Amino acid sequence: MKIIAACARYTTPDDLKSLQIANDADLAALAAEGAFDGVERIELQFPKFTDGRAFSQAVLLRRRHGFTGDLRATGDVLIDQLVQMARSGFTSAVLAEGVNAAAAERQFARFAGFYQGDALEPRPLFARQPSEATHDHREAA
Amino acid sequence: MARKAVPTIQQQDTMYRYTDFDRQFVQLRAEQFRDQLERWQRGELSDEQFLPLRLQNGWYVQRYAPMLRIAVPYGEISSAQLRVLARLAREFDQPEPALLREAQRTQDALQASQPGLTLAAPPLKHGYGHFTTRTNVQFNWIPLARAADAMDLLASVGMHGIQTSGNAIRNITCEALAGIAPDEIVDTRPFAEILRQWSTLHPEFAFLPRKFKIAFNGAAEDRAATGWYDIGLQALRNDAGEVGFTVKVGGGMGRTPVIGSVVREFLPWDQLLNYVEAVIRAYNLYGRRDNKYKARIKILVKAEGQKFIDAVEAEYRAILEQDGAPHTITRAELERVQAGFEVPPLRAAGVASETSISAKPFQRWLAQNVRQHRLPELSIVTLSFKRPGWAPGDADAATLDALAELADTFSAGEARLTHEQNLLLPWVHAQNLPALYERARALGLVQPNIGLLTDMIACPGGDFCALANARAIPIAAALTELYQDIDEVTDLGPIDLHISGCINSCGHHHSGHIGILGVDKDGKEWYQVTLGGSDGSALSGPATPGKVVGPSFSAAEVPGVVEAILDSYRELRTSAAEHFIDTLRRVGHDPFKQAANAARLDGHHRSARQAEEVAA
């Protein structure tokens, strides 16, 4: 997962075709309108870090709408939610203002594996082979 | 009779045995919490940012000190775990003397500010654990600075506070008799364990609109209050003998009591995780987040009705058809988990005792506190944590250690927490009952009141809880005191009396035959009394909230009000065989309401008389 400090967000612009979606948007309606066609990045919103709707939106975009581009978490993004975001299908995150990325990396290294399937490993622990019980949630940042 | 050496029952496989992965997971969670705590202490996390992190590890900050809520999934606890709880009580649940003095002074001031309205208030205690209605154990005085050490200690026996608070999937409960009840259809503990694992650190569902509680019942009688849960799962078998669940969604207490609606009559067992995922995803997306009091799934189900059910069904179909149903439970996984819930190897009986088995106290205890087991040579024993001098469900360090000993000696090392805040021993050889009675009596845990009036439920209330509007412990203490005559309590028969210190309803007042709810009026403590609630048990009938009898009462009036209600019952019942709840339903609420309201100014009730006698 690519982690971007708040201050770095605009200093490294890219020219990906981006779409911003509110966390109460109707994804099925947007898909029906063709809103995701040709889109390379979708930015989802965390207006407060305690508002978890965008986790489900990310899951739906990956699983139901087959979105394969960059899925970016924006808004009140804190380091203790980054692993959850990666597991829900986000591939990049812009940290909230004032959040230090230094403590982020060790969060990804902490757990050897999880019980549920997720965006990175769809099979739950019980459906994996014992040798596959652990998997690495880090990707090249 | 000579005392013989105590044969110990071999301890193995009575409970789900943690794998290396499970054990390591809990340890890593404790490490993660230490890291979060340290970042908060260094100022890298604000209070607001740290709040949900500590809540999802069971750490509240209450009236005077932090409170730790430890999960006991589906109520099963081992003797080793009980011993660790004893250590927590002894070594961690100890406030600084200055803090305790200040807390007591504040409580005394609360009492003094309401002359004539209060009951005697027992002093604040420490050094004990509290059994909750949802099979958690709470401690009230552990300093936050020692929180990480406490979690490490708990992790050493596979315990934790994962998701015991916060807006996440909470500790999952089963009825206390799962696996041992004669009327069992399906042992739901393996399913609860599989669902517990699935819900643990679920990436998508850690910031739901509000808390989310799931309960299982696997017997003919609903002893798990499934109608009152966000999701209630009733296990059953279809005509072909296949196991499945009736799924109820949208029950809950709080400000708006609602009984869950059946959304699936028969969900095949292997679809449990896929279906629950669909329900919670729909809730996460559509549940209200603008108002804390309208954020539970019950409000969504009530407001949207069939539309919500359709959304869940559509999502469930998509999980099956588009995702390929990755969380379909395999038979191999079910069997792996089931293997952890086998009947333990039981040694022959033979613990010596000097109990006089024909004496009335023992016979009464047998009749009231000992239940039939599905295995004929065994019994189910409930130890009563409803005794004078103690709040319901409280156990100090010495008691917790002694419970571990009892569990080892008499119950294959296993005990269970019950919804009614007692502790149950599930594997007691019937011939060992006299010996168990003798030892439990020495601990003060044999009041023959299980299921009776004094087996009341009460939350910690305004003695500890920051949310409480009123104290619950003095009410419980006064009623316990008032009804010490066990002949009278036995004659009154089975009665569910539930006390909550605020509308959050941790004391389940809505489901009590008699419910008592603390409310705040101008900074003073008042109590609403409700009648006719039900948790859904055979005794109480279909789950339903009670109805308020009238304007609220002062604490000082409550014992007299309860007494007036019970006096009315004795006058109105057709015979002693007609239970309180049945008389109430037959004659209606009016005579009870009148009696309750008349007790406001009535100086002739026993509680008032006793107060006068003391004063005289």
Residue A139 lies in a domain: no
Share of chain B above pLDDT 90, in %: 92
What pLDDT score was predicted for residue A132? 59
Is the Cβ pair B318, A114 closer than 8 Å? no
Q: Does B86 touch chain A (CB under 8 A)?
A: no
Q: Does B46 touch chain A (CB under 8 A)?
A: no
CA of A55: which chain B residue's CA is closest? B204
CA distances, B181 to each of B188, B378, B423 (Å) = 12, 11, 16
What pLDDT score was predicted for residue A10? 66
CA of B324: which chain A residue's CA is closest? A122
- The Cα of A100 is separated from the nearest Cα of chain B by a number of Å equal to 8
Low-confidence ranges of chain B (pLDDT < 50): 1-12, 602-603
Strand partners, B124: none
What pLDDT score was predicted for residue B386? 98
Option in B39, B208, B327 nearest A52 (CB): B208
pTM given for the model = 0.94
> HSE (CB half, 13 Å, CA atoms) of B445?
27
Task: Select the residue from A80, A84, A120 to test the B interface by mutation, using most B Cβ atoms within 10 A.
Answer: A80
What pLDDT score was predicted for residue B610? 58
- The Cα of B187 is separated from the nearest Cα of chain A by a number of Å equal to 20
Is the Cβ pair B44, A103 closer than 8 Å? yes
Residue A10 lies in a domain: yes
Cα-based angle B15, B430, B395 (whole degrees, multiple of 5) = 55
In SS3 terms, B287-356 reads as CCCCCHHHCCHHHHHHHHCHHHHHHHHHHHHHHHHCCCCCCCCCHHHHHHHHHHHCCCCCCCCCCCCCCC
Q: What is the mean pLDDT of residues A94-115?
A: 89
What pLDDT score was predicted for residue B7? 38
Is the Cβ pair A87, B203 closer than 8 Å? yes
- The Cα of B322 is separated from the nearest Cα of chain A by a number of Å equal to 7
Do residues B521 and B513 make contact, with C-beta atoms less than 8 angstroms apart? no
- Contacts (Cβ under 8 Å, ≥6 apart) of A78: A49, A95, A96, A99, B49
Fold of B457-615: Sulfite Reductase Hemoprotein; domain 1 (3.30.413)
Is the Cβ pair A53, B327 closer than 8 Å? no
Per-residue pLDDT band at A138 (split at 50, 70, 90): very low
Residue A119 lies in a domain: no
Measured CA to CA, the distance from residue B371 to residue B201 in angstroms comes to: 37
What pLDDT score was predicted for residue B613? 55
Residue A51 lies in a domain: yes
The CA radius of gyration of chain A, in Å to the nearest whole number, is 15
Which residues from B are below 8 Å from A59, CB to CB? Answer: 204, 281
Q: What's the one-letter identity of residue B518?
A: G
User: Which residues of chain A approach chain B closer than 8 Å at the C-beta?
Assistant: 49-53, 55-57, 59, 63-64, 78, 80-81, 83-85, 87-88, 100, 103, 106-107, 110-118, 122-127, 133
CATH code at position A35: 3.20.20
Q: Does B323 touch chain A (CB under 8 A)?
A: yes
- The Cα of A16 is separated from the nearest Cα of chain B by a number of Å equal to 26
- The Cα of B204 is separated from the nearest Cα of chain A by a number of Å equal to 5
Strand partners, B66: B61
ipTM score of complex: 0.93
Burial B96-120 (b: 16+ CB within 10 A, else e): eeeebeebeeebeebbeeeeeebbe
Task: Select the residue from B18, B34, B36, B204 to test the A interface by mutation, using most A Cβ atoms within 10 A.
Answer: B204
Is the Cβ pair B201, A113 closer than 8 Å? no
Which residues from B are below 8 Å from A113, CB to CB? Answer: 21
Residue A59 lies in a domain: yes
Residue A138 lies in a domain: no
CA of A114: which chain B residue's CA is closest? B201
Which two structure tokens, joined as six digits, stand for A87?
Answer: 């597991």
Fold of B360-442: Alpha-Beta Plaits (3.30.70)
Which residues from B are below 8 Å from A116, CB to CB? Answer: 198, 202-203, 327
What pLDDT score was predicted for residue B100? 98
Using a 10 angstrom Cβ sphere, with 0-12 exposed, 13-18 middle and 19 or more buried, the burial of residue B357 is: exposed
Number of domains in chain A: 1
Option in B24, B167, B203 nearest A88 (CB): B203
Q: Does B210 touch chain A (CB under 8 A)?
A: no
Option in A50, A100, A123 nearest B52 (CB): A50
Do residues A91 and A63 make contact, with C-beta atoms less than 8 angstroms apart? no
Is the Cβ pair B322, A112 closer than 8 Å? no
Is the Cβ pair A88, B204 closer than 8 Å? yes
pLDDT tens digits, A50-97: 999 999 999 999 999 999 999 999 999 999 999 999 999 999 999 999
What are the extents of the domains in chain B?
A: 20-155, 176-339, 360-442, 457-615
Strand partners, B245: B235, B267
Question: Could you list the residue range(s) of the whole structural domain that residue A77 is in?
Answer: 2-107
Option in B203, B207, B327 nearest A51 (CB): B207
Give the class (CATH, top level) of B176-339.
Answer: alpha beta
Residue carrying the six token digits 């057709």:
B574
What pLDDT score was predicted for residue B601? 57
- The Cα of B47 is separated from the nearest Cα of chain A by a number of Å equal to 13
Residue A7 lies in a domain: yes
Task: Select the residue from B36, B37, B207, B286 to test the A interface by mutation, using most A Cβ atoms within 10 A.
Answer: B207
